[in-house]
Structure 1
């Protein structure tokens, strides 16, 4: 009798064990599904953010920001017309950047007052892209050792990403490498170096590009900032970049 009862108890125990195992497997499957859904949402959120940044960048691509240009007396009058600022900018382009071409603008205006008391910066939207590019190309040589500055207008996210890559840019220039920014990606001898917050292209996109190596320091789904894994990835990319620059000191 006791034997039959024990056998029955074992059967009940095994049934419960199997049931618990099934429940555990079901929960594990649900956790995997939730993790996949979370990653999908992170990916879609990252995609949406990048699209917004891209739209902002495209809307600004005809614009330049001029800093250090003194304000004319007629600009300082309350309610002054933007045409006064436009005339001041045209004079600056002719006299300082030595460009004789007549520039046309959609709009020119001063930004808000600066905290340091310097002249308010001017933002100008050019009618012709080639005029904008000519000014930007001529600026480094003509404005060297002056207090004037000419910069592209970019979304804040792209500015922050470029700042992160700036040390690599300067090191590359010192070693004689070809360094240029395209959006928020730095190219050193045609090798792409991404900022830590930039999601790289997916595998399908990479197969359609040229065979030049890409230094990528971010997975498809961004890692939370300040984690150890993030730090290790950033360090790895920095080392890889410097190795590439050292091996190609002539830029060839």
Structure 2
């Protein structure tokens, strides 16, 4: 196991490089009521960026190039032998010492969670100590071949607490990104089953469909404003099902008005639906059969984005809806 100690400056600059592009997402949204939620979440994300900037500025002011080992720690790392491990166990009984170690481990970077765990282990113990440890322990008559159990040590608890915290933060960040994507699609509708013609004007095709099949008045259809209308995916064979059309409406109320007439398509090969990110679509596919089961039992079941409400109560099950936990 190789001892990896990247500089604190390198770690912070790397984390800054990951967060900085989030600021420029604001350029893609108009500052109206529709995008307010997106901008609010962006401000929460960029708050972390500002905190990191302050850390970098403080380091630059000292004129130093500290490594991860610098600063006040409850013990010296890496640990080299059993005696140092025993001392670490005693030190980590203190809650403050645990928090200090968690903060230090959190500074160690990694492109994935697995890489970060490996780097934390390399930072915490040497090969010499690792060679006399075993996850569950190993007892033999030969005293020289016995290995100490590592899984119940305070050091491991500190490491696992850090991994748990990272998992929680990664999940929160992922959900924030999915929520941002969903907000960016809230003005979109997906029209499926509309025949496709070479060289078609897709916007004209959609307006004709809305008038003919959704039965909206002609004057209403003329006033509908689109930001963009296009088909999804590459051209298919003439015998294949036509590609869906994504229409981004200029006004949310117009989009909702068109969507409300979707009942006119019952019993046809056409459909009109909200557009969602891939992750939410997968969650909805899980919820649809469950919703159907509740309806068959006489309950009122409604799916809102990626949540199922049964008789007004949110349906939650760790094995089925893990994204709610």
- Give the superposition deviation at 1:198: 3.6
Runs of 4+ in 1 over 6 A off after TM superposition: none
- Give the superposition deviation at 1:130: 1.5
- Give the superposition deviation at 1:114: 4.2
Q: Counterpart of 1:148?
A: 270
How many Å separate the matches in 2 of 1:163 and 1:191?
A: 20
Q: How does 1:78-117 map to 2 (within 5 A)?
A: 84-100=201-217, 101-102=220-221, 103-112=224-233, 113-114=235-236, 117=240
Which one has more relative contact order, counting CA pairs under 8 Å at least 6 apart? 1
Contact 1:184/1:194 (CA < 8 Å) preserved in 2? no
How many Å separate the matches in 2 of 1:145 and 1:105?
A: 27
Q: Deviations over 1:161-204 (max 9, x none)?
A: 1111112111122233222222211111121124745443xxxx
Gap runs ≥5 in structure 1: 1-18, 201-217, 219-252
Q: Counterpart of 1:178?
A: 300
Cα gap change, 1:66 to 1:21, in 2 (>3 Å): closer
Aligned-partner SS, 2:287: helix
How many Å separate the matches in 1 of 2:88 and 2:299?
A: 57
How many Å separate the matches in 1 of 2:156 and 2:306?
A: 35
- Give the superposition deviation at 1:121: 1.4
Gap runs ≥5 in structure 2: 1-82, 91-149
* Count of equivalent residues: 174
How many Å separate the matches in 2 of 1:51 and 1:193?
A: 21
Aligned-partner SS, 1:181: strand
Q: Counterpart of 2:253?
A: 130
- Give the superposition deviation at 1:138: 1.6
How many Å separate the matches in 2 of 1:88 and 1:179?
A: 34
Aligned-partner SS, 2:298: coil
Q: Deviations over 1:85-131 (max 9, x none)?
A: 11111011011011112222111112223477122211100111122
How many Å separate the matches in 1 of 2:258 and 2:294?
A: 25
Taking structure 2 as the reference length, what is the TM-score of the superposition? Answer: 0.49
Taking structure 1 as the reference length, what is the TM-score of the superposition? Answer: 0.63
Cα gap change, 1:107 to 1:20, in 2 (>3 Å): closer
> Over the residues paired in the alignment, what is the CA RMSD in angstroms?
2.4
Aligned-partner SS, 1:91: helix
Match of residue 35, structure 1, among 147, 160, 168: 160
Contact 1:180/1:186 (CA < 8 Å) preserved in 2? yes
Aligned-partner SS, 1:109: strand
Contact 2:303/2:309 (CA < 8 Å) preserved in 1? yes
Contact 1:62/1:132 (CA < 8 Å) preserved in 2? yes
